[in-house]
Amino acid sequence: MANHYSQSHICQCLSRLLTLRPHFPVTIAGDRRKTGREFVEQVLALAQGLLDLGVTAGDVIAISAFNSDWYLEWLLAIAFVGGIVAPLNYRWSFEEARFAMNVVKPVMLVTDESSQTWYSKLLKTDFPSLRWYALLDSPSSDFAKELNGIDVLHSEMLKKHREKPQLFDYSWAPDCAVLICFTSGTTGKPKGVTLSHGALIIQSLAKIAIVGYNEDDVYLHTTPLCHIGGLSSALTMLMVGGCHVLTPKFDPKSAVDAIERYDVTSLITVPAIMANLISLIRHKEKWIGGETVKKILNGGGSLSLELIRDTNLFFHKAKLISAYGMTETCSSMTFMTLYDPMHETSISQNLQIVGEAASSNSIYQPQGICVGKAAPHVELKICEDDSTRHIGRILTRGPHTMLRYWDQTLTNSSNARSEAWFDTGDIGSIDNHGNLWLLGRTNGRIKSGGENIYPEEVEAILQGHPGIAGVVVVGIPDAYLTEMVAACIKLTENWQWLEESNYSNQEFHISSKSLHQYCIQHNLSRFKIPKMFVLWRKPFPLTTTGKVRRDQIRKELMCLPQSLHSNL
């Protein structure tokens, strides 16, 4: 291993917080406010407590907790002593939490009341690696009962009366690993992705350069710190020295209140979060948050055109940027500006540069969804499966890629990094202007009548219909075709679904036959046109990161009686 003193370290942000923001608040969580100096002192005191306890470089510490300033302190304190942070999702079931614990084999589990549903079971499970239990804060009486007889550490106990270490005396874990972040697990069990200090810092620098974060930002945490999107943005804000506004978990009302109360300037979102915010803001008598929010970064899926228009309306001073990435690439690889009020750049103006591929003012095209250009540190290439359309698997390499999955051997050493390409598992193409077009997932591909069909390609066409507010396309087993293309449709408000027996060309009416004709008119190949259109009346099932659970939708469709295909 190279001399790690030449390597990046996420605790480098501490000196900036201490010198740039000593008297300004850098965290606001409920009734707690901490200045840069207070926050750094808490991190160093906790780090010394961990050292005194016996935590050593390379030890894994798992955290399952709500968002808070304490969570950020633990994140940096563990990294400071050379530990590796393994965030667990408090929304997991007991079985999922146990699986993750067996994968990462932590020496310590840090929790709060968010994990109460499965914590008592976990206490009864034998984990040979586990030496300590710790709490971020004092438990409630109900939670305390579960801890009866268990020797549990408290954050304040670890911090008390400690000689704080020197600011620059941080350590590194082997391979400069610092984070084991679990994937969403949309097609199987979550995988523990091992990320380095360098990957997190270069991701932060990309967000600073492209989104424009700075020390004057007041950043609202809208996504959990157990996900790479929330974590990478949190570290970006720590690096620039901005102010963090933290609520335990996302709630539309709490988020809207926080935006107005604290003059929030920036936030990140996924489509489901943005839809919830817009729905609430739309019914407010007076909305002042649109005057302060200047930067919105969207990930976890593309915003619909309707949501983009609403975002422009209610956050009219905000630069709206969409990002594409994944846990294995330490969050965002490409960025695309959808709207910039400073330059009067709209989505349609942006897409003029895409060239002949953009035949209409939409990021949704037959060749997929445009997700923008690669960040400066990211290399992308297409391993073509379809040479006539230059479509294939999206590969990437650079310092942003993971070291390995935690339970696998090192695959991305510093020597191999310049040579190894990581297969994202996504299918797409790169146009002549360097824009990446995302077509779908390799494992989401539908095989129908011997032809390959990507759900996102079909969705891109249907999404342009004014009567469709949301659509998910899946393949279901079919004796003749192997798989049949099925489209689950959510209607735009005031539109009505008509059965085939009542087919009509009336305005604001939609039917399977009219959608079939719409696909033909928009040049979708006939073998790709859904054979089944299902009216979907409930929310689409999502992962905790806001990604659609196609596997769950597919199962529900397979169990659906033929007579109910329009009534789900």
Q: Are 520 and 461 in contact (CB under 8 A)?
A: no
CATH number of 1-196: 3.40.50.12780
Is CATH 3.30.300.30 what the domain over 445-568 is classified as, yes or no?
yes
Question: CA 174, 177, 179, 184: dihedral to nearest 10 degrees?
Answer: -110
CA distances, 464 to each of 210, 305, 457, 487, 491 (Å): 28, 8, 12, 14, 12
The pLDDT tens digits along the chain (568 residues) read 444 445 799 999 999 999 999 999 999 999 999 999 999 999 999 999 999 999 999 999 999 999 999 999 999 999 999 999 999 998 888 888 999 999 999 999 999 988 888 888 888 888 999 999 999 887 766 676 666 667 889 898 899 877 888 889 999 999 999 999 998 655 557 789 999 999 999 999 999 999 999 999 999 999 999 999 999 999 999 999 999 999 999 999 999 999 999 999 999 998 889 989 999 999 898 999 999 999 999 987 778 788 898 999 999 999 999 999 999 999 999 999 999 998 765 554 554 443 333 333 455 555 678 899 999 999 999 998 766 668 899 999 999 999 999 987 655 555 455 468 999 988 889 999 999 998 877 777 888 877 778 888 888 889 889 999 899 999 988 777 778 999 999 998 889 998 754 545 567 889 999 999 999 998 888 889 999 999 999 999 887 666 788 888 988 888 876 544 444 4
140 three-class SS: coil
Q: What Rg value do the Cα atoms of the chain yield, rounded?
A: 24
Q: Are 379 and 398 in contact (CB under 8 A)?
A: yes
DSSP 438-491: EEEEGGG-EEETTEEE-HHHHHHHHTTSTTEEEEEEEEEEETTTEEEEEEEEEE
Domain spans, the chain = 1-196, 445-568
Q: Are 101 and 62 in contact (CB under 8 A)?
A: yes
Beta bridge partners, 453, equal 446
Quote the CA–CA distance of 331 and 234 in Å, as a whole number. Answer: 12
The amino acid at residue 158 is L
Q: Are 208 and 232 in contact (CB under 8 A)?
A: no
User: What are the residues whose beta carbons fall under 8 Å from the beta carbon of 241, sequence distance 6 or more?
Assistant: 13, 16, 17, 20, 21, 26, 36, 215
417 three-class SS: coil
Quote the CA–CA distance of 56 and 60 in Å, as a whole number. Answer: 9
